[in-house]
Structure 1
Amino acid sequence: MASATWLHSSCLSNSLLPTLYRKTTLHPTLLRFNRISSAARFFSSPNQTNSSVLVQAKRRDGFLSKEDQVATPADLHFESPLSIVEYPDPILRARNKRIDTFDDNLKKLVDEMFDVITDGIGLSAPQVGMNVELMVFNPVGERGEGEEIVLINPRVNKYSKKTVLFNEGCLSFPGIYADVQRPESVKIDAKDINGAKFSVSLSDLPARVFQHEFDHLQGVLFFDRMTEEVLESIRVQLQALEKKYEDKTGLPSPERVKARNSRKVAVGFGKS
């Protein structure tokens, strides 16, 4: 288990506080992250590189109209209990639609997503088979404790030039951990569970968790950001997941890391 990480409460700006899907109140001066993230397991690394891998995936099928990108009731329909979608399921690469309906069904979906990460920190909707722009995380990592944060239709407003190398993992890649370089802080715009707009600045671990989950909403997976050297260290494990998918579905893997040269992603975070 990772050692506890202590961060000042300024990591979550005051503008976020009224908009959280809140269960309890955090200590006023410190946030403690004392559990392993089930959506992204993080261990700080003393190493940093000069190059920054900042990404939002390019749209792969051209541009859709705003109307076409809005989630329908069918897009938000789900069966309980939710289950984790593992690589290389094509759901993880599919386009995710904007949410415009804020109702009891959405609140139930959010509640069940938190149930999936009872021992972790963050989760995106595509990871439970829902191709909509929704992520949840709880910095404390304990259901019923800390702030249960809901971000709907998030967009990145700014990100820091300073980057940090951390060891990440992901529920959709069970047992796989490797280094990923990301900006140290981000400023984001989003909607809360009731559809109210807000902005918040995140740094350190909350920023890392957000970026990992935001990537999922863009169809970007954490190994897309890895250097070739780092990717090589987990290539066999990724191939094992591809084989697992084929054995389970009887279908060929929709992507193969063996044939991957270097997945190209657009530079910078988009706001559209």
Structure 2
Amino acid sequence: MSAVIAVEKEKLETPPLDIHYLGDRALRQPAKRIAKVDDSLRQLAKEMLQTMYSSNGIGLAAPQVAINKQLIVIDCEPDNSANIPLILINPKIIGYSQELCVVEEGCLSIPGVYLDVTRPKTIEVTFKDEQGKPRKLQATDLLARVIQHEMDHLNGVMFVDRVDNGLALNEALQKQGFSVQAVKPVK
């Protein structure tokens, strides 16, 4: 087991990083691969986890805090102190299941908006961990969905870009004060 980045799973009044919101150009830039895994990267992952926990999230990608790097932090059980968060550096999906599932998603960069998104139920992903070691993971259900959602951020894609129900999308975005023009549908 690799050394784990130790972070208290608590809500900080002032998280170390600022989350950027739909409409911000930082969210639409493709993230750059990380060449070197070092202490500064581990510190960034730690601050991302603190920011994610402070915002009641279960996943956060570096572009959401305006850092153009292929780094994702995930914790599908933020209320379970024994659950170890997942840090994915330069993740790449190498396999998808044929089986799709539709589940409601939300995003820290689009607060208050929750809409159905169709994604593969199971994925296989390769990545480097926080020590720079190559890893391979088979993920299903919620974890698979969170990895896919966060990896979309690394490609400048937001979950609203994948919503099929345009009416529900427009309504939800307008209700929360977001511009429908900020959506860039992917098919």
**Displacement after TM superposition at 1:139 (Å):** 2.0
1:105-134: per-residue Cα shift (whole Å, max 9, x none)?
Answer: 111111111111213311100111111100
What SS class does the counterpart of residue 170 from structure 1 fall into? coil
Identity %, equivalent residues: 37
1:162-189: per-residue Cα shift (whole Å, max 9, x none)?
Answer: 0000000001001000000000000001
**Displacement after TM superposition at 1:21 (Å):** 3.0
CA distance in 1 between partners of 2:139 and 2:16 (Å)? 31
- Asked if 1:214 corresponds to 2:136, the answer is no
Aligned-CA RMSD value: 2.2
**Displacement after TM superposition at 1:234 (Å):** 2.6
Contact 2:6 2:46 in 1 (8 A): no
TM (norm. structure 2) is 0.86
TM (norm. structure 1) is 0.60
What SS class does the counterpart of residue 116 from structure 2 fall into? strand
What SS class does the counterpart of residue 224 from structure 1 fall into? helix
Show the 5 A alignment for 1:106-121.
106-118=41-53, 119-121=56-58
CA distance in 1 between partners of 2:104 and 2:135 (Å)? 30
Structure 1: 5+ residue stretches without partners:
1-17, 25-79, 243-254, 266-272
**Displacement after TM superposition at 1:237 (Å):** 4.0
Aligned residues: 176
Whichever residue aligns with residue 263 of structure 1, its letter is P
- Asked if 1:81 corresponds to 2:4, the answer is no
**Using CA pairs below 8 Å that are at least 6 residues apart, which structure has the higher relative contact order?**
1
CA shift in 2, pair 1:124/1:20, >3 Å = farther
Contact 2:3 2:131 in 1 (8 A): no
Show the 5 A alignment for 1:25-36.
none
Q: Which residue of 1 aligns with 2:185?
A: 263
Aligned residue among 148, 167, 183 for 2:85: 148
CA distance in 2 between partners of 1:19 and 1:126 (Å)? 25
CA shift in 2, pair 1:165/1:264, >3 Å = closer
CA distance in 2 between partners of 1:88 and 1:145 (Å)? 36
**Displacement after TM superposition at 1:208 (Å):** 0.8
**Displacement after TM superposition at 1:20 (Å):** 7.0
What SS class does the counterpart of residue 157 from structure 2 fall into? coil
Contact 2:16 2:50 in 1 (8 A): no
Aligned residue among 99, 103, 107 for 1:170: 107
- Asked if 1:234 corresponds to 2:169, the answer is yes
Radius of gyration: which is bigger? 1
Aligned residue among 172, 181, 184 for 2:121: 184
Segment of structure 1 superposing worse, 162-171 or 113-122: 113-122
Whichever residue aligns with residue 135 of structure 1, its letter is I
List structure 1 segments (4+ residues) > 6 angstroms apart after TM superposition. Answer: none
Contact 2:75 2:85 in 1 (8 A): yes
CA shift in 2, pair 1:234/1:81, >3 Å = same
Contact 1:223 1:231 in 2 (8 A): no
Structure 2: 5+ residue stretches without partners:
8-14
1:222-255: per-residue Cα shift (whole Å, max 9, x none)?
Answer: 111111xx2321314435223xxxxxxxxxxxx8
Aligned residue among 49, 73, 91 for 2:26: 91
